[in-house]
Amino acid sequence: MRALIQRVTKAHVTVDGSCVGECGAGALILVCAMPDDTPVTVENLAGKIAKLRIFKDANGKMNLSMLQSGGQALVVSQFTLAADTARGNRPGFSGAAKPDVAERLYLQFVDALRTLGIETQTGQFGADMAVDLTNDGPVTIWLDTAD
């Protein structure tokens, strides 16, 4: 599973002009399920992100996790994180999990964050979404469970 985590002061996602999910201070998490991902992969990634110390403490240092800081999460499925750009100029996306599998893993990821105690909202799986965010820092972290 791949994730791009952006520390934000706020973020929201709209579908057809209507807001479907939003968060305040916390993280916008773009996730992509890969073919070999399992529920264990999902749980491990959610735990890693929840404990990732990318939030400022009282001294302005990145020492706090989302759990410690009380940050919220907005999770958006993004199959384009599986882009293969090795050949030509048009990316290929065959490395992403098939939509039915990807949706199940995406929803398990969201549930795993909620179970850990993180207030979490989502985009709409498979929809054409517009994501608006205010990146804080900016802090942007790439995670790939295959690494």
Positions annotated as catalytic residues are 78-80
Query: CB–CB of 18/48 below 8 Å?
Result: no
Residue 11 makes CB contacts below 8 A (sequence gap 6+) with 22, 23, 28, 74, 131, 132, 133, 134
Which amino acid, residue 73?
A: A
- Looking only at the bridges linking them, the beta strands covering 2-15 and 26-32 are antiparallel
Element (H, E) at 77: strand 72-77
Helix axes 99-115, 39-51, angle to 10 degrees: 40
